[in-house]
Amino acid sequence: MTKNKNYSPAIILVLLAALVSVSWLYVIEKDSSAKERNNTENVSAVGSEGNSNSEQHFAWKMVTSWPKNFPGLGTAPEHFAQAVEAMSDGRLTIRVYGAGEIVPAMEVFSAVSQGTAEMGHSGAYYWKGKIPSSPFFTAVPFGLTAIEQNGWLYYGGGLELWREVYEPFNLIPLAGGNTGVQMAGWFNKEINSLEDLKGLKMRIPGLGGEVFSRAGGTAVTMPGGELYTSLQTGLIDATEWVAPYNDMALGLHEVAKYYYYPGWHEPGPSLELVINKDAFATLPKDLQTIVEIAARYANQDMLDEYTARNSSSLIDLEKNYDTKIMKLPDDVIRELKSISEEYLEELAGQDELTAKVYKSWKAYADSVRDYHHISEQAYINARDLE
């Protein structure tokens, strides 16, 4: 016979309390899981709209016109990529490729425009064959110094015009470095008059190349990696590259005797970072801002590096090598300046957009020149008084 079990009211109450507690914990856990799922979905959704909490990761390629890790020109894009990765906590990584690793040096513009790579680092004046106004965003003969160029780009409307010019090519340009005033170049004969330029075949790109051709020479464009052999074998008679820091890295002092200054053709050349517009649009807003800030950093950092390294390299060149460092005769400079001014006026008449860029550039150049007569130039003249 089975005996009936009698449970006390206290035991029943304890069992009921346990059941309620287990049920309540289940509800809390379920609600917490739902909230977690919702938060994850919200982060992904909001991340695509620019929220800084996005955990999306992006891996980009950058092609350049320089040998991999070449001093100054080649290391600037590396510094930019490192800054972006650090500021984004690894959410955007950019692998930098040297000239020829993915595309040739002179194909950077097209490669980024077509989406072969998300970014590129080069010089806008290389594209003057397809964009007549592009050299204004690098350097104009007898034009702006590095400080003046940055002023025009950031506070004089230059960057906005640059983006307008590149818009049809699906590109967003940013200033990505500046070398400061360059040297006039390496020659294997003395230059005593304009006649000495006639017949010379010289590597000199951009508007400087056009002016050189109009002065009687033959201008050619070729990447830096080809300059040493071309000058050594006589394929070219002269070349400009940058200044002592970069020129010695290429060994140009070994294959040319005369080193002329000043760099009338590139007084303050900006390098460019170009971004594929479609790729940029996929980034959250905070990563877009990081890219722009890192470009500002890289732009100034390159100028700082060149100022320091050119100074020490010049000392090395003067003390340890037989290079003759010489100033171009004033008559030659005057003639080149006259040709430059005529050509710029002619260039401005090619199309409405080039005229618009030229008008902005010239108005700024005229105003900043007046100021620097009594500031930078006046100070340097005063400092040199004996």
pLDDT in tens, 58-68: 999 999 999 99
Query: Over the stretch 314-369, which tens digit does the pLDDT of each residue have?
Result: 999 999 999 999 999 999 999 999 999 999 999 999 999 999 999 999 999 999 99
137 has pLDDT over 60:
yes
Q: Provide the β-strand partners of residue 274.
A: 120, 173
Predicted confidence at residue 55, as pLDDT, reads 81
Average pLDDT over residues 162-183: 98
Token pair listed for 182: 């360059």
Report pLDDT for 54: 54
Compute the average pLDDT of residues 44-52: 41
Domain ranges of the chain: 58-177+269-306
CB burial readout 41-67, b (16+ within 10 A) else e: eeeeeebeeeeeebeeebebbbbbbbb
pLDDT at 14: 36
Mean pLDDT, rounded, for 199-210: 96
Condensed to tens digits (0 to 9), the pLDDT of residues 69-94 reads 999 999 999 999 999 999 999 999 99
Which SS3 state, helix, strand or coil, does residue 261 take?
strand
Residue type, 138: T
Q: For position 11, what pLDDT does the model report?
A: 41
Angstrom distance (rounded) from CA 65 to CA 74: 8
Task: Look at residue 5 in the predicted model and tell me its pLDDT.
Answer: 42
Q: Can you give the pLDDT at residue 23?
A: 42
pLDDT for residue 136 is more than 50: yes
Q: What is the pLDDT of residue 37?
A: 41
With pLDDT > 70 as the criterion, what percentage of the chain qualifies? Answer: 86
* 5-45 pLDDT tens trace: 444 444 434 334 444 344 444 434 444 444 444 443 333 33
Whole-angstrom distance, CA of residue 357 vs CA of residue 355:
5
* pTM across the whole model: 0.84
User: Exposed, middle or buried, 300 (CB in 10 Å: 0-12/13-18/19+)?
Assistant: middle
Query: Considering the domain 58-177+269-306 in this protein, what is its CATH number?
Result: 3.40.190.170
